[in-house]
Every structure is written in structure tokens, then in C-alpha cells.
Copies of this chain bind each other. A is one copy, B any other.
Amino acid sequence: MSFSPLISQLIDSLRILPGVGKKSAQRMALQLLERNRQGALKLADALQQAMDNVGYCKLCHTLSEEELCPQCAAPNRDDKLLCIVESPLDVFAIEQTGYHGRYFVLKGHLSPLDGLGPESIGIPDLVKRIEAAEFEEIILATNSTVEGEATAHYIAQILASKNLVVSRIAHGVPLGGELELVDGGTLSHALAGRRPFQ
């Protein structure tokens, strides 16, 4: 069987969405066509607008179409705390815990085998960010994976000479787990139980 060309093209395109296989893509395409064309057009527009206009916050490097993201623009957050994460989704996860300091978002983690050194993941910008501000504590909230740990160690070494408390979120996060998949309660414990980085 073949769907008509535009329907096939829509099904193929839906499969770029993470977690969407062939069957779901078919169901999505036909349901949109049958029941929600207006919603589908709004989605098309939202995709276009976001892809064309969303860039990176100039301060924390999370995704944002404005020069400063909501977390950096907020005047009433704790300017003594900086939390370093691997991706914008991690900002979202940490926000769920009630954390109220600032952020810095790396471009992932160090991965020498993939040619990803400190510059590729934005560590020079991180250092500049820290030097330009007056943080008292830096929380290393990279993933608890081998690469995330190595990245945390690397950053801790770089910051060792500065007059800063450098902490690591507690291992309430399951080892090998990715931050964005952890439930909010576990993450709250991990944040509250953070300890000085050795």
C-alpha cells in the first residue's frame, strides 16, 4: 500500500520526532488530517518560528529567542549561586526542584574521543561568566555518567584557585542516569545533599 505522496512525506517527517516510530507517525498524520488540521497548521507555524528565531541566551547559553532567557533576566534570583548543567533540558529539570540561583549551560560534556574538548563545550565562556560575576558557590550538575563526572572534575580543577565553594549534586541521582530522566523528588534530594567537590 502507498499513502498519497503528501501523506507519505508527512509521515516520514513526523519520524524525526524523538520517540516516534513508523506506526505512531502514521497514526499522527492521519489523525491530524482527519480531526485537527487547525492544530497541525499551528504546529507548523510554531516549528517555523522557533527554528528561525530561537538562539542562545548570551549569559547562560540556554535556548532562548531573547538576548536573556527568563532565568537570567529575572531580577529576584540568588546571584551567589551558579548551577552548571549539560543541556537546556537540565535547566528545566533543576527548576522543578525550586532552585533559585543562576545557570550556565554547557554544550554537553567533555568527550575527547569525539573531539569535544573544553572549548567545544563552552568552558572558556563559563570561566568568563564566573569572573564577571560574584558567585559564592558553583554547583556542578553535569550528568552522573562517566563523561559528566569527568567534566565536573575538569571544571572543579579549573576553579580550584578561585575563592569559591565548588559543590557537586549528591549521588541521589542514580549512577549512569541522565538528569532529564530523573524524577523531581530524587533531584531535590540530590540538590539538597550537595557536598564540597574534592
List of B residues within 8 angstroms of A28 by Cβ? 17-19
Total A residues in contact with B, Cβ cutoff 8 Å: 58
List of B residues within 8 angstroms of A165 by Cβ? none
Name the CB-closest residue of B to A107: B34
A41 at the interface (CB under 8 A from B): yes
Main SS class of interface, A: helix
- Structural contact, A63 and B33, CB atoms closer than 8 A: yes
A175 at the interface (CB under 8 A from B): no
List of B residues within 8 angstroms of A54 by Cβ? 4, 6-7, 33
Q: Mark A54-96, 1 if CB is under 8 A from B, else 0.
A: 1000000001111001110000000000000001110110011
A10 at the interface (CB under 8 A from B): yes
Name the CB-closest residue of B to A12: B46
Specify which of B26, B44, B66, B69 is in contact with A44 (CB 8 Å cutoff). B44
- Structural contact, B51 and A63, CB atoms closer than 8 A: no
Q: Mark A1-31, 1 if CB is under 8 A from B, else 0.
A: 1111111011011101111000010111111
A134 at the interface (CB under 8 A from B): no
- Structural contact, A29 and B1, CB atoms closer than 8 A: no
List of B residues within 8 angstroms of A136 by Cβ? none
- Structural contact, A5 and B44, CB atoms closer than 8 A: no
For the A-B complex with A6-B46, A16-B36, A18-B24 known, give 12 more contacts whose Cβ atoms are closer than 8 Å: A1-B71, A4-B63, A4-B70, A6-B65, A10-B50, A12-B46, A16-B42, A34-B63, A40-B47, A44-B47, A44-B48, A44-B51
3 closest A-B pairs (Cβ-Cβ)?
A: A1-B95, A16-B39, A13-B46
Interface positions of A (Cβ within 8 A of B)? 1-7, 9-10, 12-14, 16-19, 24, 26-34, 36-37, 39-51, 53-54, 63-66, 69-71, 87-89, 91-92, 95-96, 180
